[in-house]
């Protein structure tokens, strides 16, 4: 069991460039989440998904899009990167069989936008 | 304003028990206490949660006082790999069902050889 994996681990973008972060989980979890973590700001939810083909906005969705075409994958897209999106991005997943707050996190993607 | 208080830092000797306290100024009947930790440069890791009874799993034990305003996370035999920031969360089970997690400042636990 690899758990939750994230690709890439590190990335540097120039302002205006686009990229996609990939999250994959092999635990057959229904729910998946994208968070960003910034010093002094804690963990903030960007988007989440309650199942294949469904997505919803979290608390800081602007500038990001997501897709969940397959149950095991949750993609986070940045269409036009901005320096304010420099952050560490974490993906998480959970099963519907446990409470909503027992989430399993990936190792993170460190993104720098210059 | 409801407030969760954790000591900013603690030290523990390797092999000894690490007892991490958490206090809530208020806590209601349907609010659970959750513990997560984050090892440096890694993603957060779920540890344990409880409502009013003490809980134990393969990672830790959770002791909750009768008034539920205080809890203690116990790592029975701390190892160097337990060095991390530990977050105590108060979560309303009847609140946001999709499960948005919000971390406060946490306690930096340093385990020494």
For every residue of B71-96, DSSP letters joined together read EEEEETT--GGG-EEEEEEEEETTS-
* A9-18, B25-34, B97-106: which is most confident: A9-18
- pLDDT for residue A22 is more than 60: yes
pLDDT of residue B94: 61
**Least Cα separation, residue A49 to chain B (angstroms):** 9
Q: What percent of chain B has pLDDT over 90?
A: 73
How many cross-chain Cβ pairs, A to B, lie less than 8 Å apart? 59
HEC-encoded secondary structure of chain A: CCCEEEECCEEEECCCCCEEEEEEECCCCCEEEEEEEECCCEEEEEEEEEECCEEEECCCCCCEEEECCCCCEEEEEECCCCHHHCEEEEEEEECCCCCCCCCEECCCEEEEEC
A4-13, A67-76, B100-109: lowest mean pLDDT where?
Answer: B100-109
- Whole-angstrom Cα distance, residue B113 to residue B79? 8
- Please compute the mean of the pLDDT values over residues A26-35 and round it to a whole number: 95
Q: Do A31 and B98 touch (CB under 8 A)?
A: yes
Asked if pLDDT for residue B97 goes beyond 70, the answer is no
Across all residues in chain B, what is the average pLDDT? 91
């Amino acid at each position: 069991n690899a758990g939750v994996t994230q690709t890439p681990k590190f990335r540097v973008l120039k302002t205006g460039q686009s990229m996609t972060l990939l999250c994959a989980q092999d635990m057959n979890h229904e729910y998946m989440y994208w968070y960003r973590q910034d010093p002094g700001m804690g963990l903030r939810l960007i988007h989440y998904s309650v199942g294949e083909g469904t997505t919803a906005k979290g608390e800081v969705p602007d500038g990001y899009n997501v897709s969940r075409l397959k149950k095991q994958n949750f993609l986070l897209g940045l269409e036009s990167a901005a320096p304010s999106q420099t952050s560490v991005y974490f993906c998480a997943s959970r099963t519907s069989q446990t409470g909503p707050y027992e989430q399993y996190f990936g190792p993170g993607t460190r993104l720098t936008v210059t | 304003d409801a407030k969760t208080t954790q000591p900013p830092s603690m030290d523990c000797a390797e092999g000894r028990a690490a007892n991490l306290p958490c206090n809530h100024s208020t806590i209601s009947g349907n609010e659970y206490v959750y513990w997560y930790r984050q090892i440096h440069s890694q993603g957060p890791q779920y540890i344990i949660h409880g409502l009013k009874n003490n809980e134990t799993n393969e990672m830790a034990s959770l002791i909750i006082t009768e008034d539920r305003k205080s809890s203690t996370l116990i790592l029975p035999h701390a190892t160097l790999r337990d060095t991390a920031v530990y977050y105590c969360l108060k979560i309303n089970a009847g609140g946001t069902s999709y499960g948005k997690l919000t971390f406060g400042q946490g306690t930096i636990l340093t385990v020494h050889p």
